[in-house]
Copies of this chain bind each other. A is one copy, B any other.
Amino acid sequence: MTTMLEVAKRAGVSKATVSRVLSGNGYVSQETKDRVFQAIEESGYRPNLLARNLATKRTQTLGLVVTNTLYHGVYFSELLFHAARMTEEKGRQLILADGKHSADEEREAIQYLLDMRCDAIIIYPRFLSVDEMDEIIEKQEQPIMVLNRRLRKNSSQCVWSDHKASCQDAVSQLIEMGHRDIAFITGSLDSPTGIERLSGYRAALAQHQIPLRDELLVEGKWTPESGAAGVTTLLARKAQFTALVASNDDMAIGALKQLHDSGIATPGEVSVVGFDDVAIAPYIVPSLSSVRIPVTEMIKETISRLIFMLDGGEFSYQQAFPGELILRDSVIANVRA
User: Contact residues of A with B, CB < 8 Å?
Assistant: 1, 44, 46-51, 53-54, 59, 68, 71-74, 76-78, 80-81, 84-85, 88, 93-98, 100, 111-112, 114-117, 139, 141, 224, 227-228, 250, 253-254, 256-257, 260, 279-280, 282-287
Between-chain CB contacts (< 8 Å), 27 pairs: A48-B54, A48-B115, A48-B117, A49-B112, A49-B115, A49-B117, A50-B54, A50-B117, A68-B84, A71-B80, A71-B84, A72-B279, A73-B77, A74-B77, A74-B280, A88-B98, A93-B97, A93-B112, A94-B96, A94-B98, A95-B95, A224-B283, A228-B283, A250-B280, A257-B284, A257-B287, A260-B286
Interface pair B71/A141, CB less than 8 Å apart: no
Distance from A330 Cβ to chain B, minimum over Cβ atoms (Å): 11
Of all chain B residues, the one with the shortest Cβ separation from A227 is B283
Distance from A209 Cβ to chain B, minimum over Cβ atoms (Å): 35
**Chain B residues within an 8 Å CB radius of A78:** 71-72
**Chain B residues within an 8 Å CB radius of A48:** 54, 115, 117
With A54-B48, A77-B76, A95-B96: A280-B115 Cβ-Cβ less than 8 Å: no
Interface pair A111/B46, CB less than 8 Å apart: yes
8 Å CB contact of A71 from B77, B111, B139, B286: B77
With A71-B84, A77-B71, A85-B68: A116-B284 Cβ-Cβ less than 8 Å: no
Q: Which 9 A-B pairs have the closest CB atoms?
A: A71-B81, A260-B285, A257-B283, A224-B283, A50-B54, A49-B115, A77-B77, A253-B283, A84-B98
Interface pair A47/B77, CB less than 8 Å apart: no
